[in-house]
Amino acid sequence: MKKILDTGNAACALAVKAAKVDMVAAYPITPQTSVAEKLAAYIGSGELQAKYLPVESEHSVMSAVAAAAAVGARVFTATSSQGLLYMHEILHYAAGGRLSIVMANVNRAVCAPWCLYVDHQDGVSQRDTGWIQLYAASNQEIYDSIFLAYKVAEAINIPVMVNYDGFLLSHSMMPFEIVDQEIIDEFLPVFQPDWRLHPDWGGTFGNVTPSDEYAPFRNRLADDMIKAGELIKNYAREYKELTGHWHGDLFDVYRPEGGEYFLLSMGSMAAEMELAVDILRKEGIPATGLRLRVFRPFPGAELSRLLPPDAKLLVFDRNHAFGTGGGVLLSEAKSVLFDRKDQVKITGQVMGLGGEDLPGDYLAQKAREMMEVLK
């Protein structure tokens, strides 16, 4: 294994190459573009034996990879922001069709107004499409998450979106370790689907379905989505044993000892949150960082397990859940902790929209404000 210094997009493309995908379709959008370019270059040079489809829109991207996945190819695409929104219809199709697609979403604000910089509105807006969603906080984690994503997607036939922050990660150079190809091949063998859309297998796919047949399909997806949480935990451990790389499973917990205030967030702001936790701890405040790695399936039981009796949960949302007065993580956390019998207290704030800078001392100040609210 060797360590290199490169961007988050480079880490993503290197991992996709090592995952030996069969087919890539992509449409460029800032800040995803260099992922599409690097993969086109790998395929062009023969470093990656795969096909590249330069489609004319993101709706077509997802239409192309969904159909490619239906014949049993290992497929990849990447997008951002408006591109992800434009795919929305086919995101539902891909999950409902149980197609093992992996996609990177380089998180970026959505319009109007236009903005090129990070927030999580694009990803969280796809909450109910039936996709598994991972959120990375470093270039190493982007690299490692691609393999985890394929492992999970192909085991349970649910597509996986690997999210990482635009520019803050996609364009920032960070050191990360490249895993030897033999180890990747051991962790992620050639995809052997049970069924392919092909004359040798037969069958029609996506037919019109009466209610009594439709509901079980959708309910199975809902049930399997819950099961995917356990799979992610197991495969993260298996990957750790092979590579030594570990970013947590469903959560990455920072300074859990004696925690009373729990600072919940995801993406790169959650890595910055470690500085905020250090600042608060220095002030004698028993703060703990909870970095959510898996937004879907939402790890409610795990969150509850991490919170001791009478814990205070401070939620930092880089998105709006319009009409609720807060962000999506706040709504999710409140909903999964509703049944707690003890007095867990929850509050939250929305911040960091459109790439607004979130340094550690600012996050610490926001945490203090939220602590005041809970008093």
Query: Which chain residues interact with another protein by CB under 8 A?
Result: 22-23, 25, 49-51, 53-57, 59-61, 63-73, 75, 89-90, 93, 190, 196-210, 213
Q: Which residue has the tokens 């069924």?
A: 195
Kindly write down the DSSP assignment for every residue of 247-298, as one continuous string. Answer: --SSEEEE--TT--EEEEE-SHHHHHHHHHHHHHHHTT--EEEEEESEEES-
Nearer to another protein, 4 or 197 (CB): 197
User: Least separation, in Å, of the C-beta of 33 and another protein?
Assistant: 19
What are the CA-CA distances from residue 3 to residues 47, 140, 176 (Å)?
20, 10, 5
Report whether 221 contacts 93 (CB < 8 A).
no
Nearest to another protein of 67, 160 (CB atom): 67
**Kind plus residue range of the DSSP H or E element containing 79:** strand 75-79
Cβ 201 to another protein shortest distance, Å? 7
Please, which residue, 16 or 65, has the CB nearer to another protein?
Answer: 65
Name the minimum Å distance from CB 89 to another protein: 6
Q: d(Cα 190, Cα 106) in Å, to the nearest integer?
A: 26
- Residue 213 half-sphere exposure toward CB, CA atoms < 13 A: 5
**Closest CB 217 distance from another protein, rounded Å:** 9
Token pair listed for 368 = 């203090």
- Token look-up 């998450």 returns 145
Shortest approach of another protein to residue 224 CB, angstroms?
A: 19
Shortest Å, Cβ 349 to another protein: 38
DSSP 216-253: HHHHHHHHHHHHHHHHHHHHHHHHHHHH-----SSEEE
Instruction: Give 15-40 as a DSSP string.
Output: HHHHTT-SEEE----TTTHHHHHHHH
Least Å from the CB of residue 286 to another protein = 51
Please compute, for residue 131, the number of CA atoms within 13 A of its CA located in the half-sphere on the CB side: 32
Kindly give the pairing relationship between strand 23-25 and strand 75-79: parallel
Closer residue to another protein in complex, CB, 210/284: 210
Kindly report the backbone phi and psi dihedral angles of residue 331, in degrees, each rounded to the nearest multiple of 5, phi listed first. -60, -45
For another protein, give the closer residue by CB, 196 or 340: 196
- Which residue lies nearer to another protein by CB, 72 or 348? 72
Distance in Å, CB of 110 to another protein, minimum: 21
Residue 56 or 182: which CB sits closer to another protein?
56
Q: Which is nearer to another protein, 202 or 284 (CB)?
A: 202
